[in-house]
Amino acid sequence: MANARGSAAQPAPISRDVAEAIAEDAEALAALHDRELDPALAAALRETRFPESLGLMPGTEAASAAWRTMAEGLERLPTSADDRRAWDDLAAEYAAIYLTGAYGASPYESVWTDDDHLTCQGAMFELREIYRQAGLMAANWRQRPDDHLVLQLLYIAHAARRAAAVEDWRALATMLDEHLLRWIGQFAARITVRSPSPFYVGLSILTAAWLETLRDLLAHALHEPRPSPAEIEERLLARRKSDVEPQPMHFVPGAGGPSW
């Protein structure tokens, strides 16, 4: 675990209060992507003045615009629980984005990063290993594979709460670079042009902007500039190539042959 690295580990560059704010934000966003919106959840969002209630506030004009888009999406939600047609339309939008693939905006990373745009590919197994090292696992990967957006947001919350040293935050930065930030912008762009729902358009844009804001915060805290997309792809290619290349076998005198 992160807090068992020993006394030589550098102290965490982010305070516990900020880490908790990051975790709570990630959980809030995960909850909105997790299930269709209902009147009770919409009322709670209005009561907390979401997204103003988020702890990690925008640091760029693009991020500020995303926060405003989300607020406008909330303002356009139905205000009465009896407006069944409006709520049914929102449920249909949730299904089109997250369940049926009608908009081609999959919440699964593999669809965006696999050459054949298939689910349950390399990204799923890479994230499964990241979760395993953190003592986590998907509840049912057949229903919701490890590379689903919700599970990745929940992992961010878990990692932020348990980060105790520089290396823990650096590992989270690497996870963002090599996973969520490689595709979340495309996900948001696809929903923006295909979904008529101001709420889900706002949510997708806000999520992408929040993740960028988090990554910028980590770059500042670690005093390490963000790698370019080309650098990230080169790093991934080199690592994956080394994973599949056969390792030379060395003959050890006196060693027996293979067992069957």
Q: Is the pLDDT of residue 96 over 60?
A: yes
Tell me which of 250 and 192 has the higher pLDDT: 192
For residue 10, what pLDDT is reported? 83
Place of tokens 């675990």: 1
Q: Is the pLDDT of residue 5 over 80?
A: no
What span, in angstroms and rounded, lies between the C-alpha atoms of 20 and 27? 11
For residue 107, what pLDDT is reported? 98
Distance of alpha carbon 231 from the chain centroid? 20
List, for residues 33-74, the tens digit of each pLDDT value.
Answer: 999 999 999 999 999 999 999 999 999 999 999 999 999 999
Answer whether 99's CB lies under 8 Å from 108's CB: no
Q: Mean of the per-residue pLDDT values for the chain?
A: 91
* Structure tokens given for 177: 């670079």
Q: What percent of the chain has pLDDT over 90?
A: 86
Answer whether 129's CB lies under 8 Å from 144's CB: no
List, for residues 216-255, the tens digit of each pLDDT value.
Answer: 999 999 999 999 999 999 999 998 787 765 545 444 444 3
CA dist 120 → 87, 107, 116 (Å): 31, 12, 11
Q: Is the pLDDT of residue 1 over 50?
A: no
For residue 240, what pLDDT is reported? 78
Closest by alpha carbon to 200, among 40, 91, 59?
91
For residue 241, what pLDDT is reported? 80
Q: Is the pLDDT of residue 97 over 50?
A: yes
Residue 83's φ and ψ, nearest 5 degrees, are: -80, 75
Residues linked to residue 11 through DSSP beta bridges, in sequence order: 165
For residue 259, what pLDDT is reported? 28
Domains delineated in the chain: 12-233 (1.10.3480.10)
Place of tokens 């690295």: 5
Average pLDDT score over residue span 130-155: 97
Q: What is the band of 257 on the pLDDT scale with cuts at 50, 70, 90?
A: very low
Q: What percent of the chain has pLDDT over 70?
A: 90
Average pLDDT score over residue span 165-182: 98
DSSP one-letter string for 178-225: HTHHHHHHHHHHHHHHH---HHHHHHHHHHHHHHHHHHHHHHHHHT-P
Q: What is the band of 8 on the pLDDT scale with cuts at 50, 70, 90?
A: low
DSSP one-letter string for 96-164: IIIIS-TTS--SBHHHHHSTT--SSSHHHHHHHHHHHHTT---S-TTTS-TTBHHHHHHHHHHHHHH--
